[in-house]
Amino acid sequence: MALPRGSVTAQAGLLVLDKPQGRTSHDLVAAVRRLAATKKVGHAGTLDPLATGVLVLGIGQATKLLTYVVGADKTYEATIRLGASTITDDAEGEVTAAAGAENLSLAQIEAGIAQLRGEIMQVPSAVSAIKINGKRSYARVRAGETVELAARPVTIHRFEILSDIETQQLEDGVTVQDLKVLVECSSGTYIRALARDLGEALGCGGHLTQLRRTQVGPFTLADAKTLPELAQAVSEDNEAEAPQGLQTLSLDEACGRYFPTRPVGEELKDLRYGRPISRSNLSGVVAAQDDSGHTVALIEDRGKYARPVYVIDPA
């Protein structure tokens, strides 16, 4: 699909994209750079080519917000196949074992899922972007190396079966069970690894066959646009008498939705000069706003004061 280039640079802000299957996150960043007529585009949290759904991008000044968005909790809908393991822990990799899952009961599967809820230690998939001595883990695996990654803490807030389990027999005669599941989890969780670990716990192997991210922090599929929708909007905007550029979620709206907020009143001038102000007594990073609701800076309580971590609108 030939994408139009925006005739004017997009305003700084966040863009929530519904990522299609088969495209990398980097592909989508490159596409939005063209649509937004700027090279200053980044994303908050990679999605594998297999995956679809919510991908949050920052444009212009809003790229600095991505540092915080990347750490947000995420929600996924996925399909896990029990009865076969793959080298990549998803459907794109070669099958390494196929024990089958013909005799698994719903009670056994539910018990296995229960073990993976809450705070757990998860070993990321070997075919991941984690660097080992400067080289990506997936590159080492594809080069024939054996990779062992350290377990890391993640939190699985919800892990539930969404619909009836589908049992089917593959061409090689192996019987598998496909589960459609909902997962709410902390940043850094690998859903492929959850599928693998569930299969291992049940003694049959498992891998991911489908993945859709439905939410990142407060941003959901309801906020998301597809690439064709964005391309159409830019094409129409280019024909307007006064083009406005690719439409984004403004900095004020994005900050107001993502961070707790506080008015700064008479301390506005100090904040715009990067000076500390009175404590917010709120946890984490806070959006400091003027009387009109415009976000002037992101601040965080440190000691006796709230100190700016990013002045959005300096003096």
- Which residues are part of the catalytic machinery? 48
- b vs e for 185-196, b when ≥16 Cβ sit within 10 Å of the residue's Cβ? bebebbbbbbbb
Contacts of 295 (CB under 8 A, 6+ apart): 251, 252, 255, 256, 261, 287, 288, 289, 312, 313
